Amino acid sequence: MQNRIYLCLAHMSESGAEQKYVKEAFDTNWVVPLGPNVNAFEADLEHFVGQDRHVVALSSGTAAVHLSLIACGVQPGDEVIVQSFTFCASSHPITYLGATPVFVDSEKDSWNMDPQLLETAIKDRIAKTGRKPKAIVPVYLYGMPAKIDEIMSIANKYDIPVIEDAAEGFGSCYKGQVCGTFGKYGVLSFNGNKMITTSGGGALVCPTADAKQEIMFYATQAREAYPYYQHEKIGYNYRMSNICAGIGRGQMTIVNDHINHHKHITSLYKKLLSGIDGISLHENPSPEFDSNYWLNTIILDDNLHVKGEDLAYTQAIQGAVGGAAGVTHASSSLHTDCEPNFNVEAMRMALDKANIESRPLWKPMHLQPVYKNNPAYINGVSESLFKRGLCLPSGPMVSDSDAEYIVQQIKKAIL
């Protein structure tokens, strides 16, 4: 039987560098959320992203979003523009702060924030509220760079800080510059399914040493300099542990290998999927874009038919699709008001039966019940992609033969 092929799993270095640094942490008793590994990991990340940026290692990418919003002065009652086509971690921290996410749809090339729609949203929010949004959060979806120079031009025009959510885009570049270094802050993630992992963790790319120092202040419970605990601001327990940072140091020795492997798998999918009518692979729109291809994604045409469409959405899902971590509520119905097409769900089920994990694209945030009353500037792009798209296994554990098997199963499922 074919072993289970997962979307994207962490892979340790062959040299065992991760174990070396973790052992060093135990041997020196640095088993706390600071220490030599944390400092060294931050230095490695600063070298990797370049642009004279400063990096703070944190407990998660979500924590990085949260702290960057605080650094941008977001407070209750404010509005923050955020890409709708993304995972909830891009928008939830806005809500944590009592602010309102304002969703902006995507453009067709990169699938990321539409710059023209962004400016429309800014003008309309100023007209409606008398205030401009406090920040703009574009996302590098599945590793694909956004049209960040256009977004930055608009942001600079209205003097609004940009927080780049590069959680999925670690190592991606736009016009040769590393994603996460264009705006005021850049968010990175090292979750277990990302380009590199610290098991769980993230980082915030900061513009200056002073900005880094202030982020670290908030990430360590905002303690003032007294011989006792004095708190004048609300802080958070968001610093990365020395153990996790040790894993990150080892992962940095193979980060380029991981990125190259993801790109190699993309080239394989492109070759293997060529000639299949009704399926298209999302690729760099032009040479300016250099995606890390964290997840390879395909679009199924509406008129493509897949075996088992009559069984799609006939059984309630038990737990998270693909065995994703976390606890889920039991689904209250078989359908929601917006879901992937029947051929997409049938393809997902066919691949699952063949021991291949796949997953629909992110459901846009403006279509999520929790955000049903939020302002949204929509052009239909993200909803159309969500209904027709599927993520394929792409990580360092996916071999050439795995990619061939996956495409064989895709072909087998098509009527």
Angle value at C-alpha 256, between 49 and 206, nearest 5 degrees: 15
Residues of the chain with CATH 3.90.1150.10: 256-413
Q: Is the pLDDT score of 104 beyond 90?
A: yes
Terminal CA-CA length for the chain: 24
CATH code 3.40.640.10 region(s) in the chain: 17-254
pTM across the whole model: 0.96
Mean pLDDT, all residues of the chain: 96
The b-or-e profile of 197-214 (16+ CB within 10 A means b, else e) is bbebbbbbbbbeeebbeb
Percent of the chain clearing pLDDT 70 (strictly above) = 98
Residue 325's pLDDT band (cuts 50, 70, 90): low
- Beta-sheet strand order (sheet of 359-360): 279-281, 296-300, 389-392, 359-360
What pLDDT does residue 113 have?
Answer: 99
Second-level CATH architecture of 17-254: 3-Layer(aba) Sandwich (3.40)
pLDDT in tens, 32-52: 888 999 999 999 999 999 999
Q: What is the CATH number of domain 256-413?
A: 3.90.1150.10
Q: Say which residue the tokens 């962490």 belong to.
A: 10
Question: CA-CA distance, 297 to 269, in Å (whole number)?
Answer: 10
- Go through the chain and tell me how many residues it has: 415
pLDDT of 227 strictly over 90: yes
Q: What is the pLDDT of residues 241-285, one digit of tens each?
A: 999 999 999 999 999 999 999 999 999 999 999 989 999 999 999
Predicted pLDDT of residue 324? 53
